[in-house]
Amino acid sequence: MMKPDRERPCRIGTRGSPLALAQANEVRNHLATAHGLEPESFEIVVIRTTGDRVSDRPLRNLGGKGLFTKEIEEALLEGRIDCAVHSMKDVPVVQPKGLVINVCLQSEDVRDAFVSLFGGTLVEMPEGSTLGTSSLRRRAQALRRRPDINVVEFRGNVQTRLRKLESGVAKGTLLAMAGLRRLGLAGSARVVPMDVHDMLPAVGQGIIGLERREEDCDMAQFLDAVRHPDTEARMHAERAFLARLDGSCRTPIAGYGEVRDGRLRLTGEILRTDGSEAHAGTREGPVEDGPALGRDLAEALLAEAGPGFLAP
C-alpha cells in the first residue's frame, strides 16, 4: 500500500468556496480511509482562481470554464500541489499538456433543483417572474419551458446565490442537487429536485474529478484506490460528446450518461440560447464504447440542427 511521504503530506489543491472545500474534504476522507491514514496526513491548499476573483460579469464574457481551473493547474504543473480536486462540469475538455484526469469519485445526485422562496416549481412560477441563473444551459432550458419569464444573471457560490434570492433579486433559481447535498442544504422545503429528463444536466454534473501530473506514477497509484469505474465511464462519454460540439460557457449543451449492467446510455441536448429550439437524442452501447457513443451522438445532433446552430 502506497502512502504519502511522511515529510511531505499529500497536498490537495482546490478553490476556496464552501462547496469546493467540502469536495476537497470528501476526497481527503476517501483517500485517508482507503490507505489507512489520518486526515492530518493531507494538506488542503486553497488556490484562488480568476473565476473566483471576478464575480460581477458572466463567465462567457471572461473566457469560459478554464477560469475555475487555470491557477490550480499551474500550481500542479509547478509542483506546489500533488493533485487537484475539480467539479467536472467546470473543467474544459482540453487539458494542459502534462496533466491528466482519470480518477473520479462516485457521482452525487446529477439533477438540477428549482429553489425559490415560495417553495414551488419552475412551472408554478407566476407569469413574468424573474429567474436568476448564470448558466446558459439552464437559461435556455428554463425559457424553453417558460418563455414568459425573465432571466437575470446570477453569479456567485451557492450561498451567495441563496442570499440574492432572499434579497429579492429573483423569484427563483436553479442549482445542482449535488452541491446542495454536499453542503447539507438539500433538505429545505424550498428545494424542488427536477427530473433529469425534464432538465438534462450539464456534462460532468455531480462528478468530482482528481487531476495529477501525467508522469507522477506514485500519485496515480495513490489516487487509484478511490476511483469509481462507472462514474469515469459516464464522464468520458459525456466529455467526448461535449468535445465534438466544441462546448464552452458560450453554448447551451446538456449531456448525461447512465451505466447499468455494463452498458452505457447517453442522452444529449443542444439548445438555442433563448430556448426557442432544441435537439436531443440518445445512444446506447457497451461501456467501453462510451467516447465513441458521445462523438456519434454529437455528430447526429449537429446534422439535425444544421450549420451555425451553436454559433455564439
Could you list the active site residues?
90
Query: What are the cell numbers at 52?
Result: 473566483
Residue 91 in 3-state DSSP? coil
Per DSSP, which regions of the chain are E strands? 10-14, 42-46, 83-87, 99-104, 112-116, 130-132, 150-152, 172-176, 191-193, 208-213, 253-260, 263-271, 278-286
Residue 156 grid cell: 456567485
Q: Residues with Cβ < 8 Å from 299, sequence gap 6 or more?
A: 244
Pairing status of strand 263-271 against strand 278-286: antiparallel
Burial (CB count <10 Å: 0-12, 13-18, 19+), residue 307: exposed
Q: Which residue has the cell 462510451?
A: 290
Rounded to whole angstroms, the Cα distance separating 307 from 108 reads: 35
Is 204 within 8 Å of 239 (Cβ atoms)?
Answer: yes
- Grid coordinates of 92: 474544459
8 Å CB contact between 294 and 237? yes
**At 18, is the secondary structure helix, strand, or coil?**
helix
